[in-house]
Amino acid sequence: MTSEGHLHRQYINYLGWDLDFTGPQMVLTMKLYALAYNLYDGQVIKSGKEERASKKCASVAVAELPGIIEYLGYTFCFATVLAGPAYEYKYYADACDGSRLYGKDGKPLGKIPSNIWPTVRPLLGSILCLGLFVVGSGKYPLLDPTDPQNNTPMLISAEQLAKPMYARYAYSWLALFCIRFKYYFAWMNAEGANNIWYAGFEGFDDKGNAKGWEVSNNMDPVKFETAPNLKTLSSVWNKKTANWLAKYVYIRTNGSLFATYGMSAFWHGFYPGYYIFFMSVPLIAFCERIGRKKLSPRFDSGNPWGWYSIVCRVATSLIVQYMIQPFQLLAFDWAVTNWKEYYFAGHLACIVFYLVVSQLPTPKKKEA
Amino acid sequence: MNSSRLGVITQKRLVIQGCDILDLCTCSDTLTQSLRSLSPVPSFAKEAVASLAESAGQDYETVVYLLGVFLCYPLGLIMLALPYGKLKHLFSFILGAFLLQFTIGVQWIHHLISSLVAYAMFMFLPAKVAKIAVPVWMMVYMTAGMYAGESVPLRMLKTNVHAPP
């Protein structure tokens, strides 16, 4: 009986949430990193200096250092402290003093929308994702469930390596697909917890129309899973981290992709797998660039569900799932062992694709 | 029989948390003790969670995390009901600290320390310097934490850390 319970526990709890302070600390780092620039932008704007980056981020600039209570309220904000989303101080402050809903005269700035559906929808979605994660990852675990102590990745276990390449790849695709629902769960859940007190509400435009609930939205699972290219894919995954990297790293380093991916890897932790992944991403980006130049004008009908688009969607998913494997394996030798077992097929495919497609004549641009 | 077993589980968890703190800031035992006694989460809640975890076949951390994230909804209702202004800020902080204590235990002290140091930087450094200094401070603190604490990814790299002796 006891051993049965033990097995059950091992099976269910293959990758429980091991909690420590690094998760919340990662969120806090984003918040304060952004706040440092928001305060700087506030100063720049106040002094009337011209700085392109500050101008771009003017809507979230902070003119004065917040009081200690406001500051701690932001850094400890219960709705974002565990899993994010790390939105800027301005959004938090406006939600707390009501200035996103009401004008200075106390009158509403527009017709205030109900918060019920924006709260219930992500809550239900998160419960669904939790269920899918538990069932899916139970069926296709990423780490060896029979050996929880060592956390050996299934992808490079002897049992998996005995299988043919396509079967191994199919398994890894499914395992990674299922594990993503853990993130979908945590982020959707946080979205509802912000929307319930209007922290996720964007406010009103000049005409008094409600804008939406993007502030707390951190991802779009459907868009992510069916992304036709890398840009769409990365723009709907962990949006607030992408927003942080774009506003406070990318545009502040004169658009350095290297600095941005480097910072992203640094922020995720000093694990070789992250660097291997982030440094492999440009390979896909090069292929996409050449494809967009040489192939898209020939084949793209503009229909988002045309055959060309579907090919792009499938190709994106297949290549990204291959490249992202080190992200879950983490250790350098595990990542390399894993790729070696595929004979670096994904890398080779990228290089071959690039070499072949770059030889095609560039079609003339249609009259815009 | 059951209650004594639960006691052991709860205690084990506390010892683990104590160790993390010890590793990280080389605090003395007494400081760890006093930090522990500051805990706003009553012990009966911990026992209840431990028994829930046991019956669900999940570990304590998983259950506590799940309870924690769903707890955000009633806490959100409290926030909604509060009047606009300082009170909302104050409660955001208190509820957040409670939630952290509930989920990650006394380690939330790191959250406070790094926030306060960053605040001092904002106060005393010019904005131009702070925009570099604060990000560097946060990155270093976070990275140090990943190494010193046993973060999930790091634990996956080490072998046998939790194997029985």
Handedness of CA B127, A216, A270, B151 (dihedral sign): positive
- pLDDT tens by residue, A222-240: 999 999 988 888 888 888 9
**Residue of B131, B147, B160 for testing the chain A interface, max A β-carbons within 10 Å:** B131
Q: Are A37 and A58 in contact (CB under 8 A)?
A: no
**Pick from A296, A293, A319: nearest CA to A306:** A296
Q: Are B108 and B97 in contact (CB under 8 A)?
A: yes
A·B CB contacts under 8 A: 236
Cβ pair A18:B104 closer than 8 A:
no
Highest averaged pLDDT of the listed ranges A35-39, A322-326, B25-29: A35-39
Least confident of A38-47, A61-70, A188-197, B26-35: B26-35
As to burial, measured by CB atoms within 10 angstroms (0-12 exposed, 13-18 middle, 19+ buried), residue B124 is exposed
**Residue of B86, B103, B139, B152 for testing the chain A interface, max A β-carbons within 10 Å:** B152
Highest averaged pLDDT of the listed ranges A189-203, A272-286, B23-37: A189-203
| pLDDT at B22 (0 to 100) | 36
Residues of A within 8 A of B66 (CB-CB) are 17, 130
Local confidence band at A28 (pLDDT 50, 70, 90 cut-offs): very high
Cβ pair B146:A269 closer than 8 A:
yes
Average pLDDT rounded to a whole number, residues B88-114: 90
Cβ pair A76:B145 closer than 8 A:
no
pLDDT at B156 over 60: no
pLDDT at A348 over 60: yes
| pLDDT at A11 (0 to 100) | 37
CB crowding B55-74: b at 16 or more within 10 Å, else e:
eebbbbbbbbbbbbbbbbee
- Look up tokens 């506003």; give the residue: A247
Residues of A within 8 A of B73 (CB-CB) are 119, 123, 192-193, 196
Residues of A within 8 A of B136 (CB-CB) are none
Average pLDDT rounded to a whole number, residues B114-132: 95
Residues of B within 8 A of A81 (CB-CB) are 96, 99-100, 111
Local confidence band at A302 (pLDDT 50, 70, 90 cut-offs): confident
| pLDDT at A258 (0 to 100) | 80
User: Following DSSP, what letter does each residue of A49-105 receive, concatenated?
Assistant: ---HHHHHTGGG--SSPPPHHHHHHHHT-TTTTTT-----HHHHHHHHHTTTTB-TT
pLDDT at A94 over 70: yes
Local confidence band at A1 (pLDDT 50, 70, 90 cut-offs): very low
pLDDT at A296 over 70: yes
Q: What is the largest CA-CA distance in chain A?
A: 74
pLDDT at A22 over 90: no
User: For A32, which of B90, B138, B145 is closest by C-beta distance?
Assistant: B138
Least confident of A119-123, A155-159, A329-333: A329-333
Give, in order, the Cα–Cα distances in Å from A193 to each of A115, B47, B75. Answer: 11, 26, 8
| pLDDT at B21 (0 to 100) | 36
- pLDDT tens by residue, B35-83: 454 555 667 777 777 777 776 666 777 788 888 889 999 999 999 999 9
| pLDDT at A318 (0 to 100) | 92
pLDDT at B149 over 70: no
CA A34, CA B131: separation in Å to the nearest integer?
9
pLDDT at A157 over 70: yes
Least confident of A113-127, A349-363, B142-156: B142-156
Q: Please state, rounded to an integer, the average pLDDT across all residues of chain A.
A: 85
Q: Are B82 and A199 in contact (CB under 8 A)?
A: no
pLDDT at A269 over 70: yes
**Partner A, chain B 8-47, Cβ-Cβ below 8 Å:** 20
Assembly ipTM: 0.83
**Partner A, chain B 139-158, Cβ-Cβ below 8 Å:** 139, 141-143, 145-147, 149-157
Provide the shortest C-alpha distance from residue A261 to chain B (in Å): 15
pLDDT at A148 over 70: no
Least confident of A1-15, A124-138, B144-158: A1-15
Residue B102 amino acid letter: F
User: For A71, which of B103, B111, B119 is closest by C-beta distance?
Assistant: B119
Average pLDDT rounded to a whole number, residues A70-90: 93
Residues of B within 8 A of A40 (CB-CB) are 127-128, 130-131
Local confidence band at B12 (pLDDT 50, 70, 90 cut-offs): very low
Cβ pair B131:A40 closer than 8 A:
yes
pLDDT at B15 over 50: no
Across-strand partners of A108?
A: A102
Highest averaged pLDDT of the listed ranges A262-266, A285-289, B115-119, B156-160: B115-119
**Pick from A182, A245, A186: nearest CA to A216:** A186
Average pLDDT rounded to a whole number, residues B139-165: 55
Residue A117 amino acid letter: W
CA A13, CA B62: separation in Å to the nearest integer?
9
Local confidence band at A270 (pLDDT 50, 70, 90 cut-offs): low
CA B39, CA B60: separation in Å to the nearest integer?
17
